[in-house]
Structure formats: C-alpha cells, structure tokens
Structure 1
Amino acid sequence: MVNGAVLVSTLLSLVAAARSTRRATEPGARRWARPEAFLALVVALVYLNQVLFTVYVLRVHGGDATFIARYLPEGYFALEDGPAMRGLAEHFPKPELLAPSLLRVQAFLELPFGLLIYLTVLRWLDRGLYRRLATSWLVWAASLSYTFVFCAVEWDLRNPYTVDDIVIRACSAVLTPFFLRWLARQEGDGPGRASFARMLLFAASAWAFGYLVLTVYDTALLYNLGHLGGRLPGAVLALCILVGARVASSRLPDGEAGIALSSVAGGLRWALLLFFVPALAVRYGVNFGSPPLAAAAGLAICLAAGACALRECLSGAGTARIALWAAQGTTALALGGAVGYAAVRLVTDEYYEAGLLRGAAAFLAVVVAVCAVSDRRLARWTV
C-alpha cells in the first residue's frame, strides 16, 4: 500500500503541482498567524499527552507498557518514572479516564504536526510560495496522501486500537486542511529574493529545526519521555540557534543573487513544492515499502526541480555564462558532497534521519557559499 502511495503521490505532484500554485492570492496582515506558532502549540499538546499517558501507565498498568509495546517495533515506551512524575501520578484523580492518551490523541495530532513542519520550512524560504501552496488544492492532496500512509502503517502494525486510530486520522484529514488554508490566508508579504546571508541562515535554521523535530519524534511520538533529559541540552542549543537565525534573517535587507545562487534557491523552492504531496510516502517507503522505489521517486522529484529551476535561472543567459555556471555548479556540488558525506560519517546516529539532516545542511551551506563567492568573483571580472 505504501508503494502505491509513493507512485500515485509522486506522479500527481510532478504533473500538477506547478500549475496548481500559479494563481496569486491576496495577502493577509496577521503577523501572529504563522505556522511555527501553531506548530509549537501542537508540540505542547503532544507533550501534555505524553505526561497524561505516563500517568495512565503508572497508575493503571503499574508502570508496565508491555500490554501495548508487544504490538509495536522496538524503540517505544521508555517512560519517565522519576519522583516528580510518580508524585503527579499518585495524586491524579481517576487515571483510568486517561486511556485515550494511548495512540488515539496522537493519531489526531500527527497530521497537523507533519504538515506544519513542512509549511514552516517553506515559509522561511518563500512566503509567497507558502501562501499559494497552502491555499491550493494540494493541501487536500497532501492531507489525503499523508493520512493514507499513516493508516497503512497503522494496519501493518495492527493492535487493539487500530480501528479507532484510523477513524480519528480520517477526521484529522478533513479538519486539518481547512485550518491550514485559513492560516495561509493570513500571511503578509515578505522578502522573496535570495541572498548569500539569507540562504546560509536558512541552512542553519533547517538543521536546528530538524534537530528539534527529531527530538520530539523520539521523546514524544515514540512515547520515550524518559529520553528527554538526555536530549534536552542539545535541544536547547538547537532552539537558540534556530531563534537566532530566524531573528537575524528577518532583519536582513533584500540582497542580490547571481545566477548560480539563484539556481540553488530556485531548486529548493521547486523541490519543496514538488515534494509536498509525496514527502511522507517517500519517507515511509524506506521502512514499509520498497526502498529502491522510494529512492527513485525522490530522485525523480529532485531532477524535475533542478530542471525547472535551471529553465528559470538560465533563460536568456549566453553560452559563455552557461558554461561558467556549469563550472560553478560542478565545483559546488563536489565540495558540498564531500563535506556532506563527512558530516554524515562523523557521528553514528540512533536515527538515520539525523545523519541525513546534518549532511544535507552541511551540503547546502557549502553549495551556497561556493555559488555566492563565485558569482561575486565573476561579476567583478565581467565589469
């Protein structure tokens, strides 16, 4: 089922995504209505649910999660059972009423959590594209695709709560797009031009944000609240980097970008647009489907994004400039690939996504730096 989702969602995105975001929408003016603000609210609800779930297991099941853990893979249910949590559990009235905190609450929250993560990153890169994408029918397609994959995984890991979870996920799939479309309509105008500094800050933001998302994934979505203490120092550092990068980026003036840097920014925009619908299917295709098929789908989207970006950025450029761009791109990709590979191999990660995130951020930073510096050098030589 996951393989089918990979194929259908990838083909749909490649065929229709670009046409579906061309129509401009009227910007709003509510600066507080940002996806990251509501993502923080969803994360707070997820952690609140984890506390209530822990109280439920401690009081109703004597701290033993075997009754549900036997249905799921290894790596779940490292409970927090310190004095503070046990004190809360001892004084919590009617803990048996907290039974829905097991899987059911999370089944509703996972879809908005995933979509808000994606739209937050897209907004940092291009507010206009974020507004157009989130107000188009693609948000419904993404909701359906993500929910189908979630339900397929639920069915593969069947447990006594699977039917409840599927019904709840279906409700979330209907309600979440309405909210996301409303949220995007509140978006105001923002800077759309790429610059060296802004792209480097975007790379730093993406790494720090991804680190925080993986922390939430491990400590909350996998019910491992007991891991939070060990991950807290790294999460605090990542949060400081993220806040600093976003504040600095918001204060930067619009900058000029040469052809090479513009092609990098354009490629990222196209990639985020085309990956929106099939992103979760490709991600879970690695574990619950066919890894070669998931890799092929990801590669096809990357190639399509690159082709669209080059068509935009190299339009009207002369043969000599295109040849220079090819040299810039080759150098940037070679250096970025070497640094990214080293970053992946530098540390052994518990989750492979952490290594990929670190490698991708290092790769992007090097590519941006090489393209920006070489663009400036070429601009001086041609004056």
Structure 2
Amino acid sequence: MVALVYLNQALFTVFVLRVHGGDASFVARYLPEGWFALADGSAMRALAEHFPAPELLAPSVLRVQGFLELPLVLLAYATVLRWLDRGLYRRLAGSWLVWAASFFYTFVFCVVEWDLHNPYTMDDIVIRSCSAVVTPLLLWWLADREDDAPEQSSFAQMLLFAVSVWALGHLVLTVYDTALLYNLGHLSGRLPGAVAALCVLVAARLASSRMGDGEAGVALSFVTSGLRWALALFFVPALAVRYGVNFGTPLVAVAAALAICLAAAVHVRRETLSGVGTARIALWAAQTAAALLAGAAAGYAALQLVTDTYYEAGLLRAAGIAFAVVVAVCAATDRWLARRSGAVAAP
C-alpha cells in the first residue's frame, strides 16, 4: 500500500511538471500551508519529460489518495494488533467491527474533506465511500488466512513490541509528510531516519519471532492485557479521536481516549486479579502506581526533548518510552516480589 501511495506521488509530480509547468498552485490554493513540496530534481524531470500522455494522470491529484488512505490506515492498525496478539487481530479483522471502523474512519475523512472544500471534494467523497466497501473485504480476506498463535506477554517481548510500534509509527509519519501531503521533495531529508527506523523494525521483528514464550507476573500481565483491551476498544473510534485534536475538540478527544483506557482497565482488573488475595491486590496497586508515575515522567521528558514538526511524532516517542518504562517497572517489581515470597517460603 505504501508503494502504491508513492507511485501516485511520482505520477502526480509528472503531471504537475508536464501539464502545469511545475506550479502546484492550481490545487495548493485550496489547502493549508505545508503541502505540495515537489521533488523536481533531474531524475524526476527526466521521467516527466519522457512520460507519454501526462494529461491522463489528472486522477493522481487527490483522487487516488482518497482511495488508498483508508486501507493504509487500517492495515497499519491491523499490523500493530497482529504483532501484539495474532488471535486478537484475527478476531477483530474478521468481524463486523472492521466494517464499523471502515464506516467511522471514512466519515471522519469525509468531514475533513468537507472542511477543506475544493473542486475535488465531491469526487473524493465518492471515492472514499467506494474504498470503505473494498477495504473491509481485503482485511477479511487477510484475517481468514491467519492462524492463531500464543499470546506474547513477557518483558522482552513487550519491549520489542514497543520498539516495533515506534519504528512503524516513524515510517507512517514519513509517509504522511512526504506522500499524503504531497511533499515528495521532503523525502531526501527524511530518508536517513526512515532507513534507520526500517532497520530497527526488521531487527525487532526478527528478534521477536525467535524468542520463546516467557512468564509474566501480575503487574506485567495487567499491563499487557490492558493494552490488548485498549487496542480493541480504540479500533473503531481511533481516527475520530486523532482528528478531534486538530479540529477544535481536543478536550472531547482526550476525554474519549481516557474513557476507553478506563474501560480497558476495568475489564482487565476483572480478568487479571480475579481470585487474587487482598494483600497481593494492594501490592499490585503500588506496583501500578509506581510504574505509571515513572512512565509518565519518562514520557514527558521524551516529549520535551525535541521540538517536532508534527505533534504525532512527539506523542509517538513519548508513548513508546513511557510504555517501555511501565513494563520495565512492572517486570522488575514482579520479579522482586516473586523472589521475596520465595525467600519467605523457603524456611
């Protein structure tokens, strides 16, 4: 899907260079600043010069992207689900929820389209509606070919998961800036970071695939199960929450995100702490509080470390580091409590 997005960007650049003399103002005037930084180097100009019938590439202006954006987003989300829990991915992607997600994501995209009204808006809304029908069928087809696998919940696996999600998020943000905003001219500057993120992603996934199952204590099990529930509950409203930050309702978006996290925590508490004694629940509460405080402090420090062009980049970095610290504290305190209880029981 990423390859198709970049192919469209190359064809769009050819169209602008040949048909509009390299001037993208015919469409840029309808959209906010920060779009349409063309890649007009010698290689691209050579391609444009020899491309036959460039006027036929007019659909590359917003229309093709309108079809590809939904599968790109849903496949990225499904990839994260699959890394965490293949069974969960298979159940969600093969259920009616994928149709609900497709509908709500498309609704959000269409609201954004209408807010940025331009001569292509009605075409894009129709195209996005068609994509909303095709994309769930694609996810159903993929999920039907997936086998269940054991849940991964050890400390090392969760750290590799955090690293993988950060690397994927970095690549998605690169695609967002250089392709979805038609800024192919930014690609050369972002390429070293993207290559580094891709290498990290490949290494993390290879390491995860070769790692055996490990045991998780009460606190770490709570965190990993909570993440599964949170991702499942976020699946449908995720895009609405994300765009709520940009389109005038940040408080509503934050409230919705917190409500989903709270619902996930309630479900997991029933699953993880069922049958656990009062003393262990008190220790779990202390572990969780310490982990959340340490994770919040680390995430805040990571957020302040760099000034980002897009707020999502800072949020991604902060969330990844915060999650890594949370699982590290949970794993360390679980192990310490297990050793302590073993030492008490030994005499």
Q: Report TM bin, short chain.
A: over 0.9
Distance 1:163 1:337 in 2: 43
What is the one-letter code of the residue matched to 1:221?
L
Which of 42, 46, 50 is the equivalent residue of 1:83? 42
Q: Which moved more, 1:282-291 or 1:74-83?
A: 282-291
Which of 176, 196, 201 is the equivalent residue of 1:217? 176
1:307 offset after TM fit, Å?
A: 1.2
Q: Check if 1:335 corresponds to 2:294.
A: yes
Q: Which moved more, 1:283-292 or 1:345-354?
A: 283-292
Under a length normalisation based on structure 1, what TM-score does the superposition of the two structures give? 0.88
Contact map agreement 1:145 1:281 (CA 8 A) in 2: yes
Contact map agreement 1:104 1:168 (CA 8 A) in 2: yes
What is the one-letter code of the residue matched to 2:91?
R
What is the one-letter code of the residue matched to 1:246?
R
Corresponding residue of 1:146 = 105
Distance 1:308 1:69 in 2: 47
Corresponding residue of 1:380 = 339
**Structure 1 stretches of 4+ moved >4 Å:** none
Distance 1:189 1:306 in 2: 24
Corresponding residue of 1:55 = 14
Aligned pairs, number: 342
Q: Check if 1:179 corresponds to 2:114.
A: no
1:269 offset after TM fit, Å?
A: 0.3
RMSD: 0.7
Greater relative contact order (Cα 8 A, min sep 6): structure 1 or 2? Answer: 1
Contact map agreement 1:258 1:372 (CA 8 A) in 2: yes
Distance 1:159 1:210 in 2: 30
1:189 offset after TM fit, Å?
A: 2.4
Corresponding residue of 2:206 = 247
Distance 1:307 1:192 in 2: 20
What is the one-letter code of the residue matched to 1:317?
V
Distance 1:299 1:189 in 2: 30
Contact map agreement 2:35 2:182 (CA 8 A) in 1: yes
Contact map agreement 1:193 1:256 (CA 8 A) in 2: no
Q: CA offsets per residue over residues 146-190 of structure 1, 9 Å max, x none?
A: 001101110111111111111111110011111101110111122
Distance 2:337 2:253 in 1: 39
Unaligned runs of 5+ in 1: 1-41
Q: CA offsets per residue over residues 205-228 of structure 1, 9 Å max, x none?
A: 011110000000000000000000
Under a length normalisation based on structure 2, what TM-score does the superposition of the two structures give? 0.98
Q: CA offsets per residue over residues 22-51 of structure 1, 9 Å max, x none?
A: xxxxxxxxxxxxxxxxxxxx0000000000
Corresponding residue of 2:54 = 95
Unaligned runs of 5+ in 2: 343-347
1:289 offset after TM fit, Å?
A: 4.0
What is the one-letter code of the residue matched to 1:320?
A
Corresponding residue of 1:35 = none
Q: CA offsets per residue over residues 74-95 of structure 1, 9 Å max, x none?
A: 1100000001001111111110
What is the one-letter code of the residue matched to 1:268?
L
1:295 offset after TM fit, Å?
A: 1.1
